[in-house]
Structure 1
Amino acid sequence: MTWTGIRWKRKGSGGRLCDRALDVFPGQPSSVSELPFSRDTWRTITQSFRVHRTITRTILREVTYFSVLRHTPSDTKLPQISYTARMNAALPCDLALSTTYIPSTHTSYSVLYGVYPAQGDEIWARLFSALSSSPTHPLLVLGIFLELDRARLISHADSLADEFTLGADVLSSEETPWDPSTAKENLKMQRYLRVCLRSRTLADYMGTAKRQLSKVLAELDELELLWTTTPTAAAAAPVPAGDDEDYLNDKRRDSNDKGKEEEDDLIATGKQMKQRIRDIMDEYDDRMDECGRMAQNLSLAMQTGWNQIARQDSMTGARVAKVNTAIALETKRESAQMRSIAVLTMVYLPFSCVASVFSTSLFNWSPDEGEPVVSHYIWILMAIAAVLTVLTVLAWYLWTTREEKKGRKGKSGMGLGMRNDDDVADMA
């Protein structure tokens, strides 16, 4: 059902529901600022329902907002109070409202913008129930507007609380503890973090809505003061002199009593509205605390998880330290054995070398008469030994130099090239 052409009119109250414009793209709802009718129709609505131009600025804010403007139009010369309100556009199903109240006649005109069919049904049901009472409070439609905004915010808060509770097993599961090294666990944690960030954003939205409700409470107090201090139109009207003076006095008294009774009813309704607004503010406080606890619980759970991981790392480090200690002790024992072997080798190697040389035929320890003790081929032994020594030393030098070059190339390839002494001297 469309509500674009639906309006209500009752003594002291009138208004209209404006449909939400069609979606610009599929799945992308249109803004409240986009109206589903022509400019001429909009001009007619603003004139018929006395819409003040501040509604444009309020709608374009796209944040929760409530404004009050007291002014006297030049055409009617009657003091008026213009109210505008806006829901936060960051959440779906946002609305805007303009209400104009004329205190001297106790009449109010309201227009709701961006109404979806389901919202129109609920608004109309609430209006039908409220309009049956007498008189109609000028901020009645604003009260319905605030109830719709409350239902919208609380619904999102409940949804986030459910997501947070269902995702809490990411960190609280005893069978499968959180392991940040796995891609699956990281994906779960990212979803969990998004829920917490959305809860913080929603808490900010509720805080803004609560501040605007404080302004509504102040305006209800102002209206109550206005009704208690301003005389009714019948009481303020002069009584003409003449034979019918007593009759006019009685008529004025009756009208005054009736007006006073209506104002008392308005004040009583205003007090009920103030109590309801305080209840909504308390509910916002509770939900903001709940959103804050989500972030606190996540921080505590993550800290506990990281502490558990650090504990496991410490235990692993302790085991590695024990293994390293055992390896060091074994290496120490092997080093002691190698030193013993080296000492024995140094002790026995000279004797073995001398014994090997002396056991050759180069030495004749029992020579005959005229035979030398040392063979004249001893030089061959010395020459071969010298050549082998030189070749051994040369091979050792070439091998060690080659390994050092490989090490320097590997370090330079990793960006860790070492500067030699000449480079350091050039830099100095």
Structure 2
Amino acid sequence: MDWLRSDDAVWEQNMDILTFDPIQCQVLTIARDKTGIHTRRVSLTSDQDWESWLATDPLKPAPESSSQINLVVGARAPVEPLEPAAVSYLPFSESTFRKLIDVFRIHGTIARTINRNTDLYNCRSSASWAGDLAMSVTFCPSSLISHVVMYGCDEDITNQIVRRLSNSDLLELHPMVPVALFAELEWNRLDKLVHEKTTALLQRIVNMMNCLDPTMGRNRGEAPSLASSIRDCLEMGNLKNVLQAFKRKVVDMIQHADELEVDVFNPSEGPGGETVLSEAQLHGLKDSGFKIKDRLKHLVDELEGRVQKCEGIINGVSLASQLTAFSMTPSR
């Protein structure tokens, strides 16, 4: 897990691919104690805001807390929706970001990750469509504190993050909570895309079939061009590939949750040999980990269903296009 440590050399190589544009961000501290989940939320914009916030030592464990998540919700830059490098526009100045690198122990490889148009576990969603996100996570086993920065969050995503974390009923704030939340947000985006594109392509198939129906008379309409049908199939094929890639990453998340349970949350040795967790903490982490893995397994099944749906639509458009082309071929 080398990616969880800060690396100054990597940062110096990667800093030039980022763009800094200070805008208002939300910073959340979510702590779990015996009475439940407690959330603190502040809004920060200027360097002075960040300086004042960092001066309060905000990342120290909250009193009586057993686990905690410190989360910077990086606002999305005001760029074009399909700008592939949107999340590389960071909502703070370079000097503030360098301080966050140190405090949140952000590894330098996240710079390349958020500037890459791929779906990576460390953590980046596809930029082929609007609403892509990136995330970096650092977990401290000795204190059960997760330091998280999410990049590219618009107002709706920010509100979802705040609502979901504030209303959580988990017994402990497992370090996979932000990762599972990232997966949920990406699933919602992809599921909406599948619905929109399959609905449009189903209508296209209906239009093609109408062109083949002699009973439609003048209402048969004009068949979509071959070029547009090919374009639609390619776009749906790309969406299917993204779904498959994301499904593999969710499987990786499940495996990582299992590794944490075996290697870190060990009642006999304690995390990293530093602090032995209490029985209540171990029980809470195990219960939370089980719920997270159960949800991720459900996402795997849902993603497989959407992949099959995409395949069905692609086959339908292909067949309808062939039939339409054949019907328009002059008979000899």
Q: What interval of TM-score do these two structures reach, taking the shorter chain for normalisation?
A: 0.7 to 0.9
Cα shift at 1:208:
0.9
Determine if contact 2:104/2:148 at 8 Å carries over to the other structure: yes
The answer for the alignment partner of 1:381 in structure 2 is: none
1:15 equivalent in structure 2? 71
The reply on whether 1:221 has 2:295 as its aligned counterpart is no
Q: Tell me, in whole angstroms, the C-alpha distance in 2 between the residues paired with 1:127 and 1:199.
A: 33
**Which residue, out of 156, 171, 174, partners 1:137?**
174
Matched residue type, 2:250 = L
The equivalent residue for 2:119 is 64
Asked if the contact 2:237/2:310 (under 8 Å) is kept, the reply is yes
Cα distance, 1:3 vs structure 2 = 5.5
SS in 1 for 2:25: coil
Aligned identity (percent) is 25
Render the CA deviation track for 1:346-400: whole Å, top value 9, x for unaligned.
xxxxxxxxxxxxxxxxxxxxxxxxxxxxxxxxxxxxxxxxxxxxxxxxxxxxxxx
Cα deviation for residue 56 of structure 1 reads 1.3
SS of 1:85's partner is coil
- C-alpha distance in 2 between matches for 1:307 and 1:19: 52
Find the aligned partners of 1:85 and 1:215 in 2 and give their Cα distance: 12
Per-residue CA deviation, residues 206-233 of structure 1 (Å, 9 max, x unaligned), is 1111111121111011011124535365
Q: For residue 61 of structure 1, give the secondary structure of its aligned residue in structure 2.
A: coil
Instruction: Give the 3 Å change call, closer, same or farther, for CA 301–95 of structure 1 in structure 2.
Output: same
Instruction: Note the C-alpha offset of 1:28.
Output: 5.2
Contact 1:20–1:30 under 8 Å retained in 2: no
Corresponding position: 1:109 with 2:164: no
**Which residue of the partner structure matches residue 7 of structure 2?**
none
Q: Is the 8 A contact 1:20 1:36 kept in 2?
A: yes
Which protein has greater RCO, CA pairs closer than 8 Å, 6+ apart? 2
Q: Structure 2 length normalisation: TM-score?
A: 0.73
Unaligned runs of 5+ in 1: 67-83, 238-254, 318-428
Cα deviation per residue 1:155-184 (whole Å; 9 max; x = unaligned)?
A: 100001110111122321123589xxx9x5
- Residues 250-261 of structure 1 mapped to structure 2, 5 A cutoff: 259-261=278-280
- Given the alignment, which residue of 238, 243, 268 partners 1:206? 243
Contact 2:75 2:152 in 1 (8 A): yes
Q: Which moved more, 1:38-47 or 1:221-230?
A: 221-230
* Larger of the two Rg values belongs to structure: 1
More strand by proportion, 1 or 2?
2
Whether 1:278 and 2:297 are equivalent positions in the alignment is yes
In structure 2, what residue type is equivalent to 1:109? H
What's the offset of the Cα at 1:305? 3.4
1:154-193 pair list within 5 angstroms: 154-173=191-210, 174=213, 175-176=215-216, 184-187=222-225, 189-193=226-230
Alpha-carbon distance in structure 2 between the residues aligned to 1:156 and 1:308: 32
Alpha-carbon separation, structure 2, partners of 1:29 and 1:121: 23
Q: CA deviation at 1:38?
A: 0.8
Question: Matches of 1:300 and 1:220 in 2, distance apart?
Answer: 43
Query: Does the CA contact (< 8 Å) of 2:119 and 2:246 recur in 1?
Result: yes
Residue among 84, 87, 100 paired with 2:125: 87
Distance of 1:279 and 1:177 partners within structure 2:
48
Question: Larger % of helix: which?
Answer: 1
**Native 8 Å contact 1:164 1:195 kept in 2:** yes
Deviation at 1:7, TM superposition (A): 2.6
Corresponding residue to 1:96 among 134, 140, 144: 134
CA 1:262 to 1:3, structure 2 compared with 1: closer, same or farther past 3 Å? farther
Distance change in 2, residues 1:301/1:128 (3 Å):
same
**Long gaps (5+) in structure 2:** 1-22, 32-64
Cα shift at 1:31: 1.2
Partner deviation per Cα, 1:86-132 (whole Å, 9 max, x = no partner): 111111111111111122222211111111111101111011012x5
Displacement of 1:194 in angstroms is 2.6
* Corresponding position: 1:265 with 2:284: yes
Q: Which amino acid aligns with 2:128?
A: A
The count of residues paired between Structure 1 and Structure 2 equals 271
2:73–2:151: 8 Å Cα contact kept in structure 1?
yes
Query: Is the 8 Å Cα contact of residues 51 and 99 (structure 1) preserved in structure 2?
Result: yes
Q: How far apart are 1:27 and its partner, in Å?
A: 8.0
Distance change in 2, residues 1:28/1:104 (3 Å): closer
Q: Distance in 1 between matches of 2:170 and 2:265?
A: 21
Say if 2:84 and 2:117, in contact at 8 Å, map to a contact too.
Answer: no
3-state SS of 1:18 partner: strand
In structure 2, distance between residues paired with 1:177 and 1:58? 55
| Conserved 8 A contact 2:171-2:288 | no
TM-score by length of 1: 0.57
Contact 2:84 2:127 in 1 (8 A): no
